[in-house]
Structure 1
Amino acid sequence: MQEQQRRTTLADVAEAAGTTVPTASKVLSGRSDVSAATRERVMRAVAELGYRGRSGRGAVPRTDRPALVDLVLMGVKGTWANHALLGVERAATAAGVDLVVSVAGEDGAWLSRLLERNLRGAVLALVDVTAGQLATLAAAHVPVVLLDPVTQPPSTVASVGAANWAGGRAAAEHLIGLGHRRLAVIGADRRALYTQARVDGFRSAAAHLDVEVRYLDRPDAGAADTATALLDREAPPTAVFACTDNIAAGVYDAAEALGLRVPADVSVVGFDDLPEAQWLRPALTTVHQPIAEMGAAAMRMLLRIMADPPRDAPREELATQLIVRGSTGRPRTA
C-alpha cells in the first residue's frame, strides 16, 4: 500500500518562508507586528505548499466565531460600490449577520485587518486578490466569495458576476442593427476579466467588421482623451461602445469638445446602468448590470458556504440587459 502523503504543517510553511512558526502563525491570525516582506513570504509559501491550516481539535470552528462577515471593496468612489453594499447589507441583515466594510488599499493591509477580526467569512468586491492572499484566507479557514472578480478565480474559490460577454454582444448587435459599420470600443483595465469579456462579446457580434479597441491605463482614467483620439479624425467611428458608464461620460465630453452631437454624429453605448447614465444628455443607452442583486447573491452564497462547505466552489452569473435610451441612433450614412 502506498504510504499516505504527509500533511503540510505550519512548520513546513515557516521553513519555506525562512521564518519561525510563531511568526508564520502571526501572519495567519492577522497580527500587525510582522514586516510586509515576511508576510509576503509566508503567504507565498502557504500558496505554494497548499497549506490548509489546522483541522480537528486545534482548529477554531467557524461556528464559534462571532456572527460577523466582512465586505471588502476596492474603493467607495462612485455608485457601483454603493449598489454592491446595498445588496450585501440587505442579505446580511435578513440573515441576522453583522457586516463590517473595509477598503482594500494597494498595500494589502486589508488582509491582516480582516484576519485579526476573527470573522466567519468575507465578500471581496472588485478586489484584485492574489493567489497568496486567497491561500492565506483558506489556511485561516475564512471562506470567501469574489463579487465581480477582477481575474479568473481558481476553481476552489466561489464567485458571483454578471453576464459580461452577453452584455457586450448585445451592445454590438444593437449598433449593427441601427446600421453602424465603423465601430470602436474603449475598455477599462485590459487585465480585468470583466473588461475582456465585454470586449470579446462585442467582437463576437461584429466579427465581420473592423472594430478598433482602445484600453485605458487605469479604470475610467483618461477616457475623454482616448475618445478624442478616436473621434478627431477624417473617418471617425460612428458608434462607440464604452465598457463602463464612466467611460461613456468621457466619450460625451470628447464629442462636445469636438463639436459633435450624440447621437447625430456618434452613438454611444455604456455598461453598468448606474444612476449617472440617466443624468447624461441625451440619456445613455447602456447595458444594465444588476449590481445590488449581485451583492445580495454573493452574501447568500457566502452564508451557504459558511453553513455547509461544498465540495466544489459555486459560481453564479446574473443576466445583463440592454437599456435603450437616447444616445444611440442610425448613422448619417449606413
Structure 2
Amino acid sequence: MPITIREVALKAGVSTAAVSKVLHGRGASVRVSDEKAAIIRKVAQEMQYRPNALARQLRSSRTHTVGLIFENLFGIANGPLYYMHLLDGVGEVMFRNHYRVTILPELAHDDVLGSLGDGQLEGVIWCKMARNDATLKLIHECPIPIVAMNTPAPVDASEAVFISCDNEGGLELAVDHLWRLGHRKILFVREVEEVTTPDCIARLLGFRQAMARRNVEVEDEDVATWDWQLDQFVDWWDSDPPHTAVVCWSERCGAQMLLRADGRGIAIPDDISIVGFDSTQYCETTKPRLTAVRQPISEMAAHASKVLLDMISGETPEQPSYTFPCTLDVRDSTSFPRKTVEIPL
C-alpha cells in the first residue's frame, strides 16, 4: 500500500498539516521551522513517500489529461501507419509537457457532451470529426477546448480549431502525375466505411476538381465505393473497365488493391497504375511500392497538440484553422498506360 501523509506525520512526530505544508506547499497559515521541515523531508524520503497525483489533481481541478478521439477506428494493426504517426505527434508534445493522453474511440458515437464535461479531461483532439449541425452544436456547448484533426474548417465560425492537410491540393498532385504519364480515364476508389469522413469527402472533391481542370467530367463510373477489403475489385476488373489508373483515397485502400490485383494475376503498374494517399513508411513495404500523396501526419498532430495546450492555458488561437501542404512520393505502382483511352471533347 502507498505511504500516506498521516503515516509520515506519525513517524516524524508532527501534524499532517505540517507534512502537507512542507511536501505540497499547502496551508498558508501553517508555520513549520526549518528543523522540522528537514525532519519531514528526511522521513518522507526514508519511507519512500510518493504524493497521490490523482488526488492532488482533483483538488486543484487540473487533471493534466487530454482526450484523443478516433472516428471510425478500425484496422489499426493491419499495416498502414496513419494512427501510429498520429500518436507519435500527439505523444511527443503532450508527454514533454507532462500531460497524459487518453484514447477515447467510443466518444465518437456515445454521449459526447456528458463525457467531455465530467471534469476528467482538460481538452480534446478529435480526429476526423464529422462536420454536421450536431457536431457544431456540440463544439459550441462543450466546456473544454477542442482541436479537430484531419477536419477542414466549416464555413460557420466555431470555437474549435481545425487542422487538416490540403486534400484538394494532394489530389491535384496525384492526377497531374497520372496525366503526365498519359492516363486519361482515372477511377477514384473510396471505402464505404469512410464515405462520411471529412478527408474522404475532401479528396473526392479534389479529384473532381483536378479532372475538371483538364476538361474531363467525372461520371458515376469513375467513382467506386467498395468495402475496405475491396471485394468488388475482381468483378470490376472482369468487366473490362476503360480506366488505366486508380486513385485510392488512402494508403490502406491502395495497398489492399495491390493485394487484390496480385491475387488476380494483374501486373502493377503494367496493367493498371495505382496511387494512394498518406504515404507513410508502410508504402515502402507493399509490392510494388505504392506511389502516394504524403500528408505530414506527425507534424499536424504535434501542431494540434501545441494549439490545444495553448487553449487550455487560456490563450486565444492565432487562427481558426491550419492547412498543411501535401507532397507526392513517386514509387513503383505507376507507369505509362498500356492501352489508349479516347476522351470525347
Q: Are positions 1:170 and 2:173 aligned together?
A: yes
In the TM superposition, what are the counterparts of 1:107-118 in structure 2 within 5 Å?
Answer: 107-109=109-111, 111-118=113-120
Q: Are positions 1:191 and 2:196 aligned together?
A: yes
Q: Which residue of 1 aligns with 2:87?
A: 85
Q: Which residue of 2 aligns with 1:274?
A: 280
CA distance in 1, matches of 2:339, 2:106: 48
Unaligned runs of 5+ in 1: 1-62
How far is the alpha carbon of 1:168 from its aligned partner?
0.6
The answer (yes or no) to whether the contact 2:165–2:295 under 8 Å persists in 1 is yes
Q: Which residue of 2 aligns with 1:228?
A: 234
Q: Which residue of 2 aligns with 1:209?
A: 216
- In percent, how many aligned pairs have the same letter? 26
Q: Which residue of 2 aligns with 1:179?
A: 182
CA distance in 2, matches of 1:153, 1:71: 24
Q: What is the identity, as a one-letter code, of the residue corresponding to 2:208?
A: R
SS of 1:209's equivalent?
Answer: coil
The answer (yes or no) to whether the contact 2:145–2:311 under 8 Å persists in 1 is yes
The answer (yes or no) to whether the contact 2:248–2:276 under 8 Å persists in 1 is yes
How far is the alpha carbon of 1:146 from its aligned partner?
0.5
The answer (yes or no) to whether the contact 1:71–1:125 under 8 Å persists in 2 is yes
Change (3 A) 1:148 1:166: same
Change (3 A) 1:153 1:177: same
CA distance in 2, matches of 1:72, 1:106: 7
CA distance in 1, matches of 2:97, 2:231: 43
The answer (yes or no) to whether the contact 1:183–1:210 under 8 Å persists in 2 is no
Change (3 A) 1:276 1:111: farther
SS of 1:223's equivalent?
Answer: coil
Task: Give the alignment's TM-score, normalised by structure 2.
Answer: 0.69
CA distance in 2, matches of 1:153, 1:271: 25
CA distance in 2, matches of 1:308, 1:322: 38
Unaligned runs of 5+ in 2: 1-59, 341-345
Q: Which residue of 1 aligns with 2:321?
A: 315
How far is the alpha carbon of 1:196 from its aligned partner?
2.6
How far is the alpha carbon of 1:301 from its aligned partner?
1.0
User: Which of 49, 62, 69 is residue 72 of structure 1 equivalent to?
Assistant: 69
CA distance in 2, matches of 1:94, 1:106: 27
CA distance in 1, matches of 2:208, 2:305: 33
Aligned length: 269
User: Which of 110, 127, 130 is residue 125 of structure 1 equivalent to?
Assistant: 127
Residue deviations 1:291-330, cap 9 Å, x none? Answer: 1111111111111222234388620111111100000001
How far is the alpha carbon of 1:247 from its aligned partner?
1.2
Measured on the aligned residues, the alpha-carbon RMSD in Å equals 2.7
CA distance in 2, matches of 1:234, 1:76: 32
Task: Give the alignment's TM-score, normalised by structure 1.
Answer: 0.72
Q: What is the identity, as a one-letter code, of the residue corresponding to 1:292?
A: S
Q: What is the identity, as a one-letter code, of the residue corresponding to 2:165?
A: A
Change (3 A) 1:151 1:308: closer
Change (3 A) 1:128 1:243: same
Residue deviations 1:232-281, cap 9 Å, x none? Answer: 23343111000111111232233234332000000000001133322211
SS of 1:167's equivalent?
Answer: helix
Larger Rg: 2
Q: Larger deviation: 168-177 or 246-255? A: 246-255
Q: Which residue of 1 aligns with 2:303?
A: 297
SS of 1:187's equivalent?
Answer: strand
Q: What is the identity, as a one-letter code, of the residue corresponding to 2:314?
A: D
Q: Larger deviation: 234-243 or 175-184? A: 234-243
Q: Which residue of 1 aligns with 2:27?
A: none
Q: Which residue of 2 aligns with 1:260?
A: 266
